[in-house]
Chain A
Amino acid sequence: MASVSSDEWRAVCDKFTNAQNLTVVESRNDPENDPFRSKYKARELLREIYCTLKSFEAGEGEEESGAESGEQRPPEPAVDGQREDGYDRGLSGDSPAGLRAAKLGAVEYYLGVNHVDTEELSAGQEHLMTCMKLLERCGVSSENVSLFIHVRNQLGILSAGWDETEAAQGFLETAESIYQRYLKEDGSPPTDMTEYFTTEENLLTHQERTKRFELAYTHTMYYLAQVYKNLGETERAATYCHSTLQRQLKLNQFSPMEWALNAATLSQYYITKGQYMEGRHCLSAATVISDLAGEVPSEAAAQESETEGERREQLRQKRAEIARCWIKYCLNVLQDSKKLLGDSIGELDTDRQEELKTARRREEEEEEKGRKSALLFGSEDTFDSIASLEEKVRCLLPLDFTEARAVFLVGQNYVTQAKEYFQMDGYVTDHIEILQDHSALFRALAFYEEDLERRCKMHKRRVDMLEPICSDLNSQYYLMIRRQMMFELAEIYNEMMDLKLTLANRQSDTESLDNHTVNKFNHLCSASTKYFQMFLDSLCSPEGKIPEHLEEEVLRPALVARFRVARLYSRLITSSPAAQLENLDKSLEHYKYVVQYCEAHPEATATVETELELSAEMVGLLPLQINRIKAKMVANN
């Protein structure tokens, strides 16, 4: 650039640096009622740069047109299959003309971003489109590829903001393919856009260039994830989120705790889709990376300094949250397996168990292949630690008690961890949710346990865990939670009752049950009834009136509760006919309620079909039984 003196050029560079400084640094200090002050100043500077460049161009153009016209390749005509991505275009990226275009383009880019920042979106878009057009004539090269990608990122964001999701997708996917092709065909650290206006001495290192370039592409991935989500392609969105996380890790552009939490959250997405292998991988990586965040400051240190105290809180809380994500993993694995293995009445179907075990041997080979294709996290140091954590818990569904128990124990371990932070006093809701998860883990494990006595003991553990808490809670603040707990406790007692009954019947088919068993049995019945009744009472108004209309969320539980109570009353064992009569009367009352409610509210019928059918039958049968007993009583007197 012989015609441009180095002084003039230096002036341009200075202006640019100033503009950047205003945009990034000074703008933070702008007052609230004039929030874009610095940015407007930056804009002026950028415009001046633009004019200066144009004048340089005018000057150079005359000089060069003679010299270069012969050498300049004519722009290639459109060829079949030519892609939009800018490759194979006329001007070479590193020719002087190409460089000029890139510089002008860069100024347009910065002007565009400036306008977007000051909320002048249309103007911003214009500048960005101009930038793109300037580059259109050039081929992609290491001098301009960064700009190629940045401008498309910005256009993608803009289009999305205007609900032109497909346009956004177009821009971003183009950026993606440019990046990939560049890496394949060239790969050298490309010029960063700020370098267009720096003097020789201030050029960036290769390392820094690469870092910025890769960061731009990471953003492309991230924006694509969001665009896919908006398009409803959640699977692709998740894959791109995964890639973003992966890149952050690989390029060392992450803060450990934040990354760990994001990975843990992503694992939850995978879990809801039943993709346990990916979920496990995310969770293991999250655990390993969270350890990188360092030691938790001690209690003493926390007392002394507020920042240490906060750090302690943060670290402990986030690690506890990761533990909770693990709990959900274990729970879902067990529950899914239970669904697979369960038969129509909810017992373990041994035939199906056999089937699945044979099928699994085939699956394990598949798993190996799957591994390779799935995206893996980590660098050399973390790879092993992640893998070793993964080995501790299976990702294939457990098919028998031993396997289930292994998963259960892992889950239980994380329960303990999580409860350390989420203590009752301070985190009531969280603490209880953890307990509910623990209870659910037991419940799932009980499914695999063949010995009914041991099964009962597991349910007893659940009761011991939940019962004391239910009464402690303020009924006003924790209405929802109390209801859940009451219902769950009622169901557990019901379950235990059924188990006791089965056990007793197995022991002695012909002999009658002994006193102890009868008492135990009745106790369980009453406990279950009590909690169902508490649940139903909680639905009543403060005066005690039964609601005429049940809200959707409580409709089915309320009717089921009635149904169960009815059944429980009819099952109570008593030798006195009078008491038996009383029980059956109550039972009938509740069965009738179910039938009557469904008659009055036809829409409710669908939610409780089975129960309604049985209730209707009982409403028919019970009166006969009641009359028989009455008759017997009269006869005996």
Chain B
Amino acid sequence: MRSKQKYEMSTIWIEEKHLLKFSRIELRGVLSVFFVCFDKTKTKWKRRKLKGMEFRVGAPVEGLLVFVLSLEGPSALSEHAKSEFKRVFQDLGVSVLSGASEGYNVCLFAYGQTGSGKTYTMMGTPDSIGLTPRICQGLFRSEDTFPDEQNSSRVEISFLEIYNERVRDLLGGGEQKKRASLRVREHPEKGPYVQDCKQAMDLLEEGIANRITAATHNHDASSRSHAIFTIQYTQANLENNLPSETVSKINLVDLAGSERADYHYCRDRLTEGSNINKSLVTLGIVISALAQNSQMSSSCQSINSMASEVDGSTVGSHSSSLSGGGGGGGGGGGGRRHCFIPYRDSVLTWLLKDSLGGNSKTIMIASQWNNWQHCEKTMAGMCLFR
């Protein structure tokens, strides 16, 4: 499974002789996260591969692209560094767009402590726009290159904020005081979606940058909430004279500051570490973990147990005669007992479910110093849902 692994590295030099490196890895089926630690004290960079941090994310994953870079806060960046970031953005943006145009869902996470440059990376400032506006621009630009009228596309944008498990629409029109939270639901056809969320259709590219920065200012308590900017990109094409549609979703997620102790998205059910929860309010979590550990099976494996249980039917029925009895299925096989743990995935995980498994590419930008353990936990929490 690791046969397709390949990675490239390049070095960017910044003033003060601090090294900034990034490595890009493309894998099949297994998510591997490479971290680069930006160590001020030493001039050598440290690259750590998180052993034992390999997760199966859903089943056949077409390719998870994980891209991690370690940044310092924007104010400390020199001009040279800024231009390097432009290059990085271009690279990243291109990967995102190419994935989307091929019909994959792409999900890009910006993770790190407050003030470490996440929002700068994602949104940027009016003079130095970040990833999100760039990707939007790139999307519109690519449309200009379509040769014939046969292909057309549609872009729908929405911008949400998740704070304390409540969802708020940041593009929600003039009355900014309206804080009604929106419900997140699952639809058989559409998958997980946010009810009543405004979707802006075909905003002009100049308009986008403005709308976004305005919305970012609405995004208060930014260090404690997650912001999800979603682009749904529908391409209509004619294949063999049959109209078909490729729909892909690009989710650009600005995660809440990682130093906040209450990460909802990090509520790993496979509790690790021996830290004791002090408050009785967390009794539920402890009991859930007990039940979860006893069960030790995921929904993936329920196909397996189904297949195991029907063992018996093969006996006595392989004779070439077309008659022949032979019992039905049932019995046999030491199955595990399956239970139901009343546990709600965080709103974030639920909404991004389709982007974290199956047919999707996921990119993670971590802007932090040395607490990569937190990042580990985040990815663990996200990937091991369900």
Please judge, given known A-B contacts A161-B276, A227-B276, whether A342 and B331 are in contact too, CB under 8 Å: yes
Chain B 327-350 per-residue mask, 1 if CB under 8 angstroms from chain A, else 0: 111111001111111100000000
**A611, B188: Cα distance in complex, Å:** 35
B311 touches A480 (CB 8 A): no
**A32, B221: Cα distance in complex, Å:** 11
**A478, B353: Cα distance in complex, Å:** 10
**A227, B286: Cα distance in complex, Å:** 11
User: Which residues of chain A come closer than 8 Å to B291, judged between CB atoms?
Assistant: 265-266, 268-269, 272
Chain A 334-362 per-residue mask, 1 if CB under 8 angstroms from chain B, else 0: 01101100111111000000000000000
User: Which residues of chain A come closer than 8 Å to B59, judged between CB atoms?
Assistant: 479-480, 551, 553-554
**A225, B282: Cα distance in complex, Å:** 12
| Interface size in chain B (residues, C-beta < 8 A) | 79
User: Which residues of chain A come closer than 8 Å to B332, judged between CB atoms?
Assistant: 342, 344, 346
Residue of B nearest to A161 (CB): B275
Q: A263 → chain B, closest Cβ, in Å?
A: 9
For the A-B complex, the count of residue pairs with Cβ-Cβ distances under 8 Å equals 262
**A344, B300: Cα distance in complex, Å:** 27
The B305-327 residues at the A interface (CB cut-off 8 A) are: 306-308, 310-318, 320, 322-327
The B212-261 residues at the A interface (CB cut-off 8 A) are: 223
B306 touches A265 (CB 8 A): no
User: Which residues of chain B come closer than 8 Å to A241, judged between CB atoms?
Assistant: 283, 286-287, 290
Chain B CB within 8 A of A476 CB: yes
User: Which residues of chain B come closer than 8 Å to A347, judged between CB atoms?
Assistant: 327, 330-331
Please judge, given known A-B contacts A244-B280, A272-B295, A339-B331, whether A614 and B301 are in contact too, CB under 8 Å: no
Q: A532 → chain B, closest Cβ, in Å?
A: 11
Chain A CB within 8 A of B381 CB: no
User: Which residues of chain A come closer than 8 Å to B322, judged between CB atoms?
Assistant: 570-571, 573
Chain A CB within 8 A of B302 CB: yes
A237 touches B290 (CB 8 A): yes
Chain A CB within 8 A of B303 CB: yes
A479 touches B358 (CB 8 A): yes
Extra pairs beyond A344-B312, A480-B299, A494-B329 (16, CB < 8 Å): A161-B275, A163-B274, A227-B276, A237-B290, A269-B290, A476-B358, A480-B58, A480-B357, A484-B303, A484-B306, A487-B303, A498-B326, A498-B328, A498-B329, A541-B60, A557-B304
B290 touches A234 (CB 8 A): yes
Please judge, given known A-B contacts A234-B290, A265-B284, A346-B332, whether A487 and B307 are in contact too, CB under 8 Å: yes
**A199, B316: Cα distance in complex, Å:** 87
Q: A527 → chain B, closest Cβ, in Å?
A: 15
User: Which residues of chain A come closer than 8 Å to B304, judged between CB atoms?
Assistant: 553, 556-557
Chain B CB within 8 A of A324 CB: yes
Sample 10 A-B pairs with CB under 8 A, ordered by A number: A265-B342, A268-B291, A269-B290, A274-B337, A325-B342, A338-B330, A346-B332, A484-B303, A551-B29, A551-B60
Q: B278 → chain A, closest Cβ, in Å?
A: 6
B337 touches A336 (CB 8 A): yes
B276 touches A338 (CB 8 A): no
B301 touches A229 (CB 8 A): no
The interface-forming segment of A75-83, A178-186, A363-371, A421-429 is: A421-429
Please judge, given known A-B contacts A161-B275, A344-B332, A479-B58, whether A554 and B314 are in contact too, CB under 8 Å: no
A328 touches B338 (CB 8 A): yes
Chain B CB within 8 A of A495 CB: yes
**A401, B252: Cα distance in complex, Å:** 55
Please judge, given known A-B contacts A325-B340, A474-B191, A556-B304, whether A447 and B330 are in contact too, CB under 8 Å: yes
B325 touches A505 (CB 8 A): yes
Q: B223 → chain A, closest Cβ, in Å?
A: 8
User: Which residues of chain A come closer than 8 Å to B307, judged between CB atoms?
Assistant: 487, 556-557, 560
Chain B CB within 8 A of A396 CB: no
Chain A 531-558 per-residue mask, 1 if CB under 8 angstroms from chain B, else 0: 0000000010100000101011110110
The B7-54 residues at the A interface (CB cut-off 8 A) are: 29
Q: A489 → chain B, closest Cβ, in Å?
A: 11
A539 touches B320 (CB 8 A): no
Q: B197 → chain A, closest Cβ, in Å?
A: 15
| Interface size in chain A (residues, C-beta < 8 A) | 112
User: Which residues of chain A come closer than 8 Å to B330, judged between CB atoms?
Assistant: 338, 342, 346-347, 443, 447
A261 touches B306 (CB 8 A): no
B277 touches A269 (CB 8 A): no
**A484, B223: Cα distance in complex, Å:** 40
A161 touches B274 (CB 8 A): yes
B320 touches A621 (CB 8 A): yes
Chain A CB within 8 A of B294 CB: yes
B335 touches A335 (CB 8 A): yes
B277 touches A474 (CB 8 A): no
Chain B CB within 8 A of A258 CB: yes
A553 touches B300 (CB 8 A): yes
Please judge, given known A-B contacts A160-B276, A229-B289, A554-B59, whether A474 and B190 are in contact too, CB under 8 Å: yes
A269 touches B294 (CB 8 A): yes
User: Which residues of chain B come closer than 8 Å to A345, judged between CB atoms?
Assistant: 312-313, 315-316, 326-327, 331
Chain A CB within 8 A of B180 CB: yes
Q: B103 → chain A, closest Cβ, in Å?
A: 8
Q: A384 → chain B, closest Cβ, in Å?
A: 26
Chain A 24-44 per-residue mask, 1 if CB under 8 angstroms from chain B, else 0: 000000001000000000000
B191 touches A328 (CB 8 A): no
B342 touches A611 (CB 8 A): no
Chain B CB within 8 A of A586 CB: no
A269 touches B287 (CB 8 A): yes
Residues of A whose CB lies within 8 Å of any CB of B are: 32, 156-157, 160-161, 163, 165, 168, 218-219, 222-223, 225-227, 229-230, 234, 237-238, 241, 244-245, 248, 258, 261-262, 264-266, 268-269, 271-274, 306, 318, 321-322, 324-325, 327-328, 331-332, 335-336, 338-339, 342-347, 424-429, 433, 436, 443, 447, 469, 472-474, 476-481, 483-484, 487-488, 491, 494-495, 498-499, 501-502, 505, 539, 541, 547, 549, 551-554, 556-557, 560, 563, 567, 570-571, 573, 610-611, 614, 617-618, 621-622, 625
**A441, B316: Cα distance in complex, Å:** 27
Q: A7 → chain B, closest Cβ, in Å?
A: 38
B186 touches A428 (CB 8 A): yes
A556 touches B308 (CB 8 A): yes
Residue of A nearest to B192 (CB): A477
A499 touches B274 (CB 8 A): no
B306 touches A488 (CB 8 A): yes
**A480, B190: Cα distance in complex, Å:** 16
Chain B 179-205 per-residue mask, 1 if CB under 8 angstroms from chain A, else 0: 010000111111110000000000000
User: Which residues of chain A come closer than 8 Å to B277, judged between CB atoms?
Assistant: 226
Q: A310 → chain B, closest Cβ, in Å?
A: 9
**A335, B317: Cα distance in complex, Å:** 25
Please judge, given known A-B contacts A262-B283, A265-B287, A551-B56, whether A272 and B337 are in contact too, CB under 8 Å: yes
Residue of A nearest to B360 (CB): A476
A265 touches B341 (CB 8 A): yes
User: Which residues of chain A come closer than 8 Å to B60, judged between CB atoms?
Assistant: 539, 541, 547, 551
**A119, B248: Cα distance in complex, Å:** 46
Residue of B nearest to A501 (CB): B325
Q: B73 → chain A, closest Cβ, in Å?
A: 15
**A392, B310: Cα distance in complex, Å:** 32
The B45-93 residues at the A interface (CB cut-off 8 A) are: 56, 58-60
Q: A268: which of B274, B317, B340 is its contact (CB, 8 Å)?
A: B340
Residue of A nearest to B310 (CB): A491
**A272, B290: Cα distance in complex, Å:** 10
User: Which residues of chain A come closer than 8 Å to B299, judged between CB atoms?
Assistant: 480-481, 484
B306 touches A271 (CB 8 A): no
Q: B344 → chain A, closest Cβ, in Å?
A: 8
Q: B313 → chain A, closest Cβ, in Å?
A: 7
